[in-house]
Structure 1
Amino acid sequence: MQVVRKDIHNSEMPVLCQSCEARHRGVCGALTSEQLLKLSKHTRRVRHEAGHELLADAMPIAAYANVLRGVIKLTKVLEDGRQQVVGLQFAPDLLGRPFAGESRVSAESASDVDLCMIPKGALEALVKESGPLEHRIMLQALRELDEARDWMVTLGRKTASEKVASFLYLIATHIDPEDTEGATTFDLPLSRGDIADFLGLTIETVSRQMSKLKADKIIEIVNYRNITVPDLALLRLRCG
C-alpha cells in the first residue's frame, strides 16, 4: 500500500513524493497533490549501476523515467557498430520521448542512477488532462533542443581546448544547477573514451587538454575521474 500524509493544504501526497529532491524541478512539479497520488499508484523506484542498458534504439517504449540521481548517456549506434554519444541526462530530466512508439536512441546509465519509473499509459493519460504538466514537458524538450544547438557549435567551431572545457562546464553546472559560480567538485560520469566520442576528439587529445587545464590551475584532478573546479567562472571563460 502507498503511504500518504497530509500537506499544508490538507491534500494527500505520497511520502516518497514529498521527500523526492527532483520533484519540484522535474515534470512532477507541475502536478497537484491529487495528481501525484494518482500517478504514484503506478510508479516504482529502481536503482541501476553504471553501465546498465535502460533503452535500446528502436525498442518499444513501455515506460518513462524521472532521473532522481546520476547521469544517463544517450547514444546512436551505426550498423557497423560505430557509436556516437548524442546527449546526457541528469536529475530531474524525464527519460523517454512522450507519445513516441519506440526509442530513437540507446540509453545507458553512465553512473549509478536512481529512477522513478512511470508506465507509458499512466503518464500520457495525465499529460492529456494536465496543461501544466504538458507545458513542463514541452519546456524540457525545448531546453534539450537549445542544448543540442549549443553543442553543434561546440563540435563544429570550438578548439579542442574549448571542447574539453565546455564538457567539464556542462557536467559541473548540470550536477549542481544552482551553482554557476564558485568552486565545485564532481566525478566524471564518462570514461576518457566516451568523452572523446562525445567531443569528436581522440582519447590522447582529451587527456592532453585535461592536463593543460590542470597545469593552468583551472581544474584539479584528484584521481582519474574526480574533478575539482576552484572557480567555475574561470572554467567558463575557457569554453570560448
Structure 2
Amino acid sequence: MNLTQSFSQECSDCPIRHRAVCARCESDELERLEEIKYYRSFEAGQTVMWSGDKMDFVGSVVSGIASLTQTMEDGRTQMVGLLLPSDFVGRPGRDGAAYDVVATTDLVMCCFRKKPFEELMNDTPHVAHRLLEMTLDELDAAREWMLVLGRKTAREKIASLLAIIARRDVTLNMQTGNSQVVFDLPLTREAMADYLGLTLETVSRQISALKKDKVILLEGKRHVTVPDMDRLLEEAGDDSDGGMLN
C-alpha cells in the first residue's frame, strides 16, 4: 500500500494541521492550498533532494523523519538537522536546496507547488506569519543544538534527543495532564550516533544506562516509555519548562 493512502488527505483531518504552516488558515485559504498541494512518499534511505537542486516545491513533513546533511569538499558528511512531523521543507524565494534531505524513515510529505505557494504567501498573512514563526523556532532550535553537540556529555546528548522526540510526539498528539510519554523511536542507533557525533557503542551504552536507571523503559529497541518527563529533562541538562524542546 502507498504510504499516502494510510491517512486522510483532507486538510481538516490532517494530523499535523495544528502545528503546520497552514495552522491559522481560514477555510477559503485552505481551499487555495488544496488547489496547489500534492502528497509524496519516500522510503527510508531515499533522497528527497540534493543540495543545490532546483526546488519546484515546498512542503511539510506529515509522517516520518528526514535528515538534513551537508557534504564537505573532501567528501565527509555531517548531519546538521532533523525534520520531524509538521516541520517545513524548502525556502520560498530561494531557487536551490541548501542541504541534502534524506528520508531517515518512511516519509510522507504534503507538498505545495513553489510559485503558487509564494503567491499565496503574498496574499495571505496567516501563512506568511506562521512560516516566520516556524523559521524563528528553527533558528532557536539550531542554536540550542549547538550547545547539545558542543558542551553536553554523551548521556546528556542522548537524553536531549529522546526528550526532543518525546515532546514533539506529545504536541502532535495534543496530550495533556500526563507526565508519562510513550513513543516509537524513529531513529536507529546508528542514525543517532551519526547525528550526535558519537560512536555506536557509546549510544548503545548510554541508552542501556538510562534504561538501567529507569529514566526510560524500553520494549525491544524502538518502543520507549518515559515515566517522568521532568526527570528526562534533568538528565538532558534542561530545566523542566522545556527550554529548547518546546
Question: How does the TM-score come out when normalised to structure 1?
Answer: 0.88
Whose radius of gyration is greater, 1 or 2? 1
Query: Following superposition of structure 1 onto structure 2, how do residues 1-240 of structure 1 map, counting pairs within 5 Å?
Result: 16-177=10-171, 178-179=174-175, 182-240=179-237
| Alignment-mate amino acid for residue 189 of structure 1 | P
**Which one is further off, 41-50 or 148-157?**
41-50
Residues 81-123 of structure 1, C-alpha deviations (whole Å, 9 max, x = no match): 3221111122212111221110111111222222111110111
User: CA 1:204 to 1:163, structure 2 compared with 1: closer, same or farther past 3 Å?
Assistant: same
Contact 1:173 1:179 in 2 (8 A): no
Aligned length: 227
Q: CA deviation at 1:211?
A: 0.8
Give the RMSD, CA atoms, in angstroms. Answer: 1.8
User: CA 1:79 to 1:191, structure 2 compared with 1: closer, same or farther past 3 Å?
Assistant: farther
Tell me the percent identity: 39
Q: Which runs of 5+ in 1 are unaligned?
A: 1-14
**Partner secondary structure for residue 30 of structure 1:** coil
**Partner secondary structure for residue 129 of structure 2:** helix
| Alignment-mate amino acid for residue 220 of structure 2 | N
Q: Which runs of 5+ in 2 are unaligned?
A: 1-8, 238-246
Question: How does the TM-score come out when normalised to structure 2?
Answer: 0.86
Query: Aligned partners of 1:141, 1:227: CA distance in 2, in Å?
Result: 29
Q: CA deviation at 1:78?
A: 2.0
Query: Aligned partners of 2:49, 2:67: CA distance in 1, in Å?
Result: 10
